[in-house]
Structure 1
Amino acid sequence: KVDLFRTGGGPLLNKILLEARAGKNSWDVAIGRGEMILPLLERKLLASYRSPEANMISEDLVDREGFWTAYYANPYGLGFNTRMVSNADVPGSYEALLDPKWKGKKISLDTEGYGLFAGLIRVWGREKALSYFNKLAAQEPVLMRGNTSRIQLVSAGEYPLLISYPSLLQVHTSKGAPIDWLHLEPAVVLIFPVMLAARSPNPSAGKLLIDFLLSKEGQQILVNLKRVPVRKDVDADPPRLSKGYKRIVEHPEDYKDFTGVVKTYQDIFNLR
């Protein structure tokens, strides 16, 4: 029998850290956002375990030391209203978003798009990333929190473009909404890692659960739930969600100065 505790990434991390400070450990396996990894590693709360199933997962989604493995992925991409933007006019790159035609409340951005910002800092370098995001801010985008509501607004014709998650965009596309999407390269990919507790009460059972979650059967369940799987032999639905584009996968090191990343992002878009 599996006892499941479900909550958001922040509350889950806080619960684990509070238990650890009290000398307790009630969990065997945790699945959360990538930003959880570093604080758990720093406090030595993770055990090293490389599942045999990890051999079917790309190396950029697996920790070399075995402390985490991506359970599913969530790339950023560009969504667009197909009634407002022709295929010929769709911006196919980050730079294309800086075209004057997209200035003035034409692009919807998340007020907490920190993962995208951190990923592009790592791949481009800080100077280039800051220059780009300042130029993007000069395009006068619409800043809103959340993804579902922003996708609905773009579908309704409020704005022609948005940066969001293709897995969510595809849900609306599949339902017939006038919205499509593409990957901007390199696509920044957020991960949702699965991790084994260093003081797991049931380590053998925890390892078996991880094995199942990363197995072909376990990953197919994710596809049915409209998630992006990580196994090489399991295609997303549609396959272009997980294949055919250059990517940069988020890494625990991205969060070493996460407070600084958040502050800079907020300053660029005047969110404070």
Structure 2
Amino acid sequence: TTAPTTAPTAAATAAPTAAPTAAPKPGELDKATIDKAKQEGKLTFYTSLNEDDAKFIIAEFNKAYPEIKVTLNRKSSEKIVAQFITEAKAGSVLADVLETGGLDIAKPIKEGLIQEFRPPAADKFPDNLKDPKGLWTAARLGIESIAWNTTLVKAEDAPKSFEDLADPKWKGKILIESTDVEVLLALAKLKFKDDAKTTDYLKKLAANDLQPSAGHTETLDLLIAGQRAVFWGAHGHTTARKAKDGAPVDYMRTEGVLTVDGAVLPKGAPNVNAAKVFINWYLGEDGQKAVAARKRVPARPGIADPALMPKTTYVSGPEGIDDFAKYDKMWKDILGFQ
């Protein structure tokens, strides 16, 4: 007589305990973290993404998680990182998510201000787009290449490699962004793989009477205006957007440097669960499609417009910070830019 009552009792007690421990689907966070995030109900997002794009991303996130209010703090990469480090060192962490350029994001990582977090959504990201310890994951990419004014340069004469602009035929025709050391660093480490070759290349480039300018967008506008014929280090994604709007520009797709903008989780984030939910959504399919919708280059494989991507790429991530001082000195010594 006890058997019939024992079986249903076991089944009844097993059912409620099984649900909370059910494994999350691939790429998703566990239910407990998501529930805690909704209870927190807010997060603060520090980013260098321009304000319109950041607000679009937040609005898309809120379609998935309307319970989590996002406060935006948008500044330039250098300024947002400086603010975060100052606050964190003072014991007042206000940021729940920090997202900005790789070499800048390396600074708080080196200071020990970032905690490990491996977003499930990034499981299939290639190794060069995430840190093995989980200290950073690429969220979006910048394409740095060579652009040209299509009224001044015929397609058949356009550069096919970074070395092409070392040719004396380009003397007096090259624009360059005056602080673009990150492109040099990536080429030195991943293309030339030799400091003597890098130095030789830079000297030949310098001999071609470069015209330095501040800001990639501003320099691209000078190219469009016909001030010079080519732009070393132009942002490919921005060039493509300008070309679509009718500007006489195109860019090299045979090779290019990919710069990384990474998303990280600060130590002491006041809303740590909401931060994890935001980062995981941002790196997942919906978040990365939102990045692509703003004509930017999402890091998640398979979502970026393949027409934008160079065939050969050299990825510059946060690990480059260790060599930055050396190549910054080389850049300034040889090119004369300060």
TM norm structure 1: 0.93
Is 1:268 aligned to residue 334 of structure 2?
Answer: yes
CA distance in 2, matches of 1:184, 1:134: 23
CA distance in 2, matches of 1:270, 1:202: 46
CA distance in 1, matches of 2:297, 2:93: 30
- Contact 1:220-1:229 at 8 Å conserved across structures: yes
Report percent identity of matched pairs.
Answer: 30
Amino acid at match of 1:115: E
- Larger RCO, structure (CA 8 Å, separation 6 or more): 1
- Contact 2:129-2:317 at 8 Å conserved across structures: no
- Contact 1:223-1:229 at 8 Å conserved across structures: yes
1:108 corresponds in structure 2 to 175
CA distance in 1, matches of 2:302, 2:158: 31
The size of the alignment, in residue pairs, is 267
| Residues 106-125 of structure 1: per-residue CA shift (max 9 Å, x gap) | 01111011111111121222
Counterparts of residues 1-272 of structure 1 (less than 5 Å): 1-103=69-171, 105-123=172-190, 124=192, 125-163=194-232, 164-183=234-253, 185=255, 187-236=256-305, 239-242=306-309, 245-272=311-338
Please, which runs of 5 or more residues in structure 2 have no aligned partner? 1-68
SS in 2 for 1:4: strand
Amino acid at match of 1:120: L
Deviates more, 1:64-73 or 1:92-101: 92-101
- Who wins on radius of gyration, i.e. which is larger? 2
CA distance in 1, matches of 2:86, 2:102: 19
* RMSD, aligned α-carbons: 1.5
**Aligned pair in 2 of structure 1 residues 60, 257: CA closer, same or farther (>3 Å)?**
closer
| Residues 210-266 of structure 1: per-residue CA shift (max 9 Å, x gap) | 011111111111112111111123132xx2223x51212113232124333323212
CA distance in 1, matches of 2:135, 2:282: 15
Amino acid at match of 1:113: D
Deviates more, 1:213-222 or 1:52-61: 52-61
- Contact 2:292-2:298 at 8 Å conserved across structures: yes
Amino acid at match of 2:178: T
CA distance in 2, matches of 1:79, 1:251: 23
